[in-house]
Structure 1
Amino acid sequence: MILYKTIALKFGHFYDRERPTSMTGLDGQPVPSEDFRQHWKSVLGDLASARIYLLDHNAANYLDSLRMGVQGMPWEDRPESDIQGYVREVDFPRDLIWVEYDDRKLWEDRVARRVSTQTEEELNNRRQRGFLFDNRSPDKLTVCLFSALSDTMFLDAPLVLEIQKDEDGRPDFRNTSWQPNKTVIAGLMRAGFLRDAASAREYFEEYKGHVTYEMVIGFMLFAALAAREDDLVPQETPSLSNAQVKTARKFGKTWMTETLRSHVTIRIGPAAELHMTEQKARLRFEETQAVGRATPTEHWVAEHERHYANGKVVRVRAHKRGQSPSRELPARVVGPKKHD
């Protein structure tokens, strides 16, 4: 599935056909029905204006590995200022951006990289995720997260992360806040996701954790695109086929053709493939090292004398010692390659 298309089709249908009723919010106050229609219209407008990036699983894995290089592994105690200082200098390719990836595949790759562990049940609960970055305001950057539940159902963003900007127009991660979306929260309450205040707090804390940790992948994407190297290969594709466009126009679904124009699929290029190959080789090398005493890499031992306790002296000729490096391992894993 493509999550952004699912959202557009669902909200477009709702806006065309549905007549929502008022609901009760978490604070006990009614949320007017018109607020729901305005929310659907707002999301459709944002998706229509946004640059849509769809990461294939290799691209998401690559960007996540780059993030780990800056932020550190989960078990490393690096200060948050490291990653914050990096992402605040990243330039956005557009003011409004949607970044989507397959969360299950990303976590499968994280497990393969020994970054985390996941049970099969936990993996089965992960599907497409999409982040909407809104950098249009001169005063703040906002980020919200949408998550797929199935091919036709998804979770809207109950909270919007607001990151204030400093005098240079860069995001200031020391000055952030979470703004509730009352219409989404009311819908989650009616659907049974928020049964009481305790479950709401738990749900919101989990959502905040997902947003603040995973949104960094978007910043890594923006940085990689700005570098204009051959690690990523973007390809723009129409989001609707010609037949779908004709059908939408025939039935007057203008929101469909206006919202689902095109998206950019991001795949990895030669440099990223080399990076991931080296990373896998390094992981195998480190695992081998951890099994037991590591055999030293092949090297020359200079001629020398060996003195024994009984007074005997033996001259040892120059010789090679250690194990020849595997040709499959990248040079920087085992040291410089031998030059004949």
Structure 2
Amino acid sequence: MYLLDHMAAAYADTLHDAVAKQASETGLPAMAILGEVKLPADVVWVEFDDRELGVARFERASPVTRHDDKPVGTGLRGYLIDDRNKGHLRITMFHRRENSRVVDPICALLVKRIPTGELNYDNVEVELSHSMVEFRVRSGDTMEMINGRRTVHQVETGYDLFIPYALFAMLVSPDLGGIIPTENETFTAKDAKTARKFGKSWILDAQKSHLTIRIGPQAAAHMQERQARLEFERQVQDGRSGPVRHWVSEHERRYRSGKVVLVKGHHRGQLPAPNLPTRVMGPKPEATIFELDAVDPSNPD
């Protein structure tokens, strides 16, 4: 079991942004660029805070938030990755959405293997949960709504799958990729005693410890450098904003079709923001023609 704090999840996600850019340029899946990553065990659980991850994505202007006007993300998100089947890898993502009590996923992803045993991320089967489909039908959902939920869950599962796999890759790197794993006790002795008293088998049979993942100085420096670069790009973009507010005199606008429209005088542009450089409107092209004396090329002076 691996529990990522919000900084560790955001750090892994910045690596995803970099790989996603390379994937769009080459046409390869992000997981293919990451390469074959060996799981640390046959069954692995990876958990992180989806709400905090959404805030981090929004603040750094991640490509996945380009159409969002506020951070998107709710609750905790957990990946159960099961590698016990020789024919496929089962990936189940658990996520409780806002204003919902439902945690069980509506579907799981089965990544098929090629004859040599390697995973083929171009051959993924979506396995619907029959119990959840029946629950949704009883709750009044139409099949169209259920298919919509399945599609959303499938896309989100596939996109954020990069985070646990980036974690696995960093765990086997010589410098741990800038992360600091710390082993912690899952349940205290008092919890175990109470569980034995009341027969709570889900506590007694659980793994005795888990790894908490935090970032180290190397990863923190990467995040600070990335934030500074983003702030610089924002300032440059603000410097390239439209012209400052000015008056446009009444004029005619002529179109190729022969249509002539009289445009009344109006204000154009936007008010400059305080403490930011503004774009200054230059003179009209005809006003920039200068008459220069002829110069003899053989005599530069």
Is this a same-fold pair by TM over 0.5? yes
TM-score, length-scaled by structure 1:
0.65
Equivalent position amino acid for 1:83 in 2? A
The aligned counterpart of 2:154 is: 208
Q: 1:93 aligns with which of 24, 34, 40?
A: 40
CA contact (8 A) 2:60 2:227 kept: yes
Indicate whether 1:144 and 2:101 are aligned.
Answer: no
The aligned counterpart of 2:166 is: 220
Equivalent position amino acid for 1:172 in 2? N
CA contact (8 A) 1:159 1:180 kept: yes
Kindly report the root-mean-square deviation, in angstroms, between the aligned alpha carbons of the 2 structures: 2.7
- Contiguous gaps of at least 5 residues in structure 2: 241-291
User: How far is the alpha carbon of 1:238 from its aligned partner?
Assistant: 1.3
Q: 1:65 aligns with which of 14, 19, 32?
A: 14
Q: How does 1:113-128 map to 2 (within 5 A)?
A: 113-115=60-62, 116=65, 118-119=68-69, 123=72, 126-128=74-76
The aligned counterpart of 2:184 is: 237
Counterpart CA distance in 1 for 2:97 and 2:60 is 26
Counterpart CA distance in 2 for 1:105 and 1:217 is 14
User: How far is the alpha carbon of 1:79 from its aligned partner?
Assistant: 4.7
CA contact (8 A) 1:224 1:232 kept: yes
TM-score, length-scaled by structure 2:
0.73
CA contact (8 A) 1:91 1:226 kept: no
The aligned counterpart of 2:199 is: 252
Equivalent position amino acid for 2:136 in 1? L
Counterpart CA distance in 1 for 2:115 and 2:2 is 29
The aligned counterpart of 1:300 is: none
When Rg is computed on C-alpha atoms for both structures, the one with the higher figure is 2
User: How far is the alpha carbon of 1:270 from its aligned partner?
Assistant: 1.2
The aligned counterpart of 1:180 is: 128
Residues 287 and 70 from structure 1, CA distance in 2 versus in 1: closer, same or farther, beyond 3 angstroms? Answer: same
Residues 240 and 185 from structure 1, CA distance in 2 versus in 1: closer, same or farther, beyond 3 angstroms? Answer: same
Indicate whether 1:198 and 2:147 are aligned.
Answer: no
Counterpart CA distance in 2 for 1:268 and 1:94 is 22
Counterpart CA distance in 2 for 1:137 and 1:263 is 24
Indicate whether 1:272 and 2:253 are aligned.
Answer: no
User: How far is the alpha carbon of 1:80 from its aligned partner?
Assistant: 4.7
Corresponding pairs, count: 244
Counterpart CA distance in 2 for 1:209 and 1:309 is 67
Counterpart CA distance in 1 for 2:99 and 2:215 is 26
Residues 187 and 57 from structure 1, CA distance in 2 versus in 1: closer, same or farther, beyond 3 angstroms? Answer: same
Counterpart CA distance in 2 for 1:138 and 1:240 is 33
Identity rate of aligned residues, in percent?
A: 30
Counterpart CA distance in 1 for 2:74 and 2:28 is 29
CA contact (8 A) 2:19 2:34 kept: no
Counterpart CA distance in 2 for 1:88 and 1:183 is 35
Q: 2:193 is paired with a residue of what secondary structure?
A: helix
Counterpart CA distance in 2 for 1:119 and 1:288 is 19
CA contact (8 A) 2:136 2:146 kept: no
